[in-house]
Copies of this chain bind each other. A is one copy, B any other.
């Protein structure tokens, strides 16, 4: 199995989630993160005190999928999250050794 970590623009979350369910993803973890990258942040001024905010709000998806599904999931995310504007995000793939579903005790691919 693989762990797919993707950062995308927050307003793309629903679209991506729907697209993924259609390709057979049945679960994921979503976290709000602060992203740092080439997309520049913004500056806030409070009574003359300037604060450069270098982070932009992003959403991080963590999805564990069977090896077989990996490429499809990656390409689906890439396709859906794309706006061609800087800051669209990245997708990383890591290897997962084992998985377990707490409720049933099922393991690995059955657990997904």
Contact = CB atoms under 8 A, between A and B. Distances in A.
Interface of A: 2-3, 5-8, 17, 26-31, 33-38, 54-55, 58, 60, 62, 64, 74, 77-78, 81-103, 105, 111-112
14 contacts: A3-B5, A6-B102, A27-B36, A29-B33, A29-B35, A29-B60, A30-B36, A82-B103, A85-B103, A86-B103, A88-B102, A91-B102, A93-B99, A94-B95
Contacts of A17: 36, 54
A102 B59 CA distance: 14
A28 to B, nearest CB: 5
Given A55-B30, A60-B29, A81 B102 contact: yes
Contact of A90 (B6, B84, B111): B111
Nearest to A35: B29
Q: Please provide the 10 A-B residue pairs with the shortest distance between their CB atoms, ordered closest to farther.
A: A27-B37, A88-B102, A88-B103, A30-B34, A91-B100, A93-B98, A29-B33, A93-B97, A89-B102, A31-B33
